[in-house]
Amino acid sequence: MIGRDLLGIEDLDRGDIERILETAEHMLEVGRREVKKVPTLRGRTIVNLFFEPSTRTSTSFEIAGKRLSADVVNFSPASSSISKHESILDTARTLDAMDPDAVIVRHGVAGVPKRIADRLKAPVINAGDGAHEHPTQALLDLMTVMQAKGRIDGLSVAIVGDVVHSRVARSNIFGFLKMGAEVRVAGPPTMIPAAVETLGVKAYTSLSEALAGADVVMMLRIQLERLAGSLFPSVREYTATFGLDREKLRYAREDAIVMHPGPVNRGVELSHDLADERPSVILDQVRNGVALRMAVLYLLAGQPLAGERRGSW
């Protein structure tokens, strides 16, 4: 069963994922109530430890925690431990001394949540680490697909864009494969890791081929400022080749849904109308995000401490 931390989808099995999704469905009902708050985690403290700014994700976790009556504290240390001469160890020790019941970690470098988890008594939930994983995003994506399609097993999922830098892509690849879907990735060859097929997906350099027969089209966010001119020649060329609009969507199945982790670069990876309207389910993703994170907090936060932690590394 699901362990003490949630560091990545890679660590979960299908049963864990199903249990989290089922719990999240019940949490959706809480969100529909007039009083959207249950006393489950009353008196518990949840720390949002965001080394990298992300209003969306931290807000989603904050609302989730508050709906469960936890006290949510936002803590944003300097983004680089080098600049502040504070090691990960220091940060973890400082936090541990505050006795949190769960720590949600976002960091720009892969592996930091794990390293913090190795040192912390409290459970750690990875809210995105570098280009590694973003497990709650993938879980809410699975939940959204489950609602739209009634199943995940046997679906075809196309993930399009900057796969090499995307933690969302990695977590979704692990998640959809574990749940029995077929996964394709597509993007400029400079943005598809050479070894991506070792993950169990099929790689395409043509959007139309990747979309053929797809039930789910997941567009990734392009980091325009950082990548234009190095990994692709220009925004114009990117949009022409891998941007999705209604016309290109016709390559996919007629009933395909369109997803995006947000925030959308409108008119770049997704046309303006597709960002708002069906078959896009982007707002469902956001709504499900709160319920899913409530589920994760319910399952992990404030569990009785099982003795000493794994110790140092």
Partner 1 sequence: MVLDDAAIRRSLMRIAHEVVERSEDPSRIYLVGIPNGGVPLARQLAVDLARVADLRPPLGILDTTLYRDDLTRTGERPPLRRTEMPGAVDDQVVILVEDVVNTGRTIRAAMDALMDFGRPRAVQVVALVDRGHRELPIKIDYVGKNIPTNTRETVELRGTEGGLSGPLEVVILTEHGAERS
Partner 2 sequence: MNRILLRGGRLLDPAGERDGPGDVLIENGRIAAVDADIRADDAEVIDAAGRWVAPGFVDLHTHLREPGHEYKEDIASGGRAAVAGGFTAVACMANTNPVNDDPSVTDYILDRGHQDSPARVYPIAAATRGLRGEIMTEMDALVRAGAVAFSDDGATIMDSGVMRRVLEYSRLAGVPIVVHAEDRTLVGNGVVNEGAVSTRIGLPGNPAIAEAVMVARDLMLAELTGAHLHVAHVSTAGAVDLIRAARGRGVHVTAEVTPHHLVLTDEATAGYDTNTKVAPPLRSLADRNACRAALCEGTLDAIATDHAPHAEHEKDVEFTAAPPGLIGFETAFAVVLDLVRSGELEPLELVRRLSTEPARILGQLGGSLAVDAPADVVVLDPAAEWTYDPAKGYSKSRNSPWSGKTLTGRVIATFVAGRLVYSEERGVLFP
Question: Which residues of the chain form contacts with partner 2 (CB under 8 A)?
Answer: 10, 80-82, 85, 87-89, 107-112, 114-115, 129-133, 167, 170, 193-196, 198-199, 313
Cβ-based nearer residue to partner 1, 37 or 246: 37
Number of residues in the chain? 313
- Determine the distance from the C-alpha atom of residue 184 to the mean position of all C-alpha atoms in its chain, rounded to a whole number: 18
Cβ-based nearer residue to partner 1, 67 or 260: 67
Cβ-based nearer residue to partner 2, 168 or 218: 168
34 binds partner 1 (CB under 8 A): yes
In this structure, the strands spanning 202-204 and 124-129 are unpaired
Please count the other Cβ atoms lying within 10 Å of the Cβ belonging to residue 212.
15
Question: From the CB of 261, what's the least distance to partner 2, in Å?
Answer: 15
Q: Which of 33, 226, 236, 310 binds partner 1 (CB under 8 A)?
A: 33
30 binds partner 1 (CB under 8 A): yes
Are the C-beta atoms of residues 40 and 298 closer than 8 Å to each other?
yes
Total residues in contact with partner 1, by rule CB under 8 A: 23
Please state, in angstroms and rounded to a whole number, the distance separating the CA atoms of residues 310 and 145. Answer: 36
**Tokens of residue 55, six digits:** 């209003």
31 interface partner picked from partner 1, partner 2, none, CB below 5 to 8 A per type: none
Are the C-beta atoms of residues 58 and 48 closer than 8 Å to each other?
yes
Q: Nearest-CA neighbor of 128 among 115, 141, 110? A: 110
Residues that bind partner 1 (CB under 8 A): 1, 19, 22-23, 26-27, 29-30, 33-35, 37-41, 44, 68, 298-299, 302-304
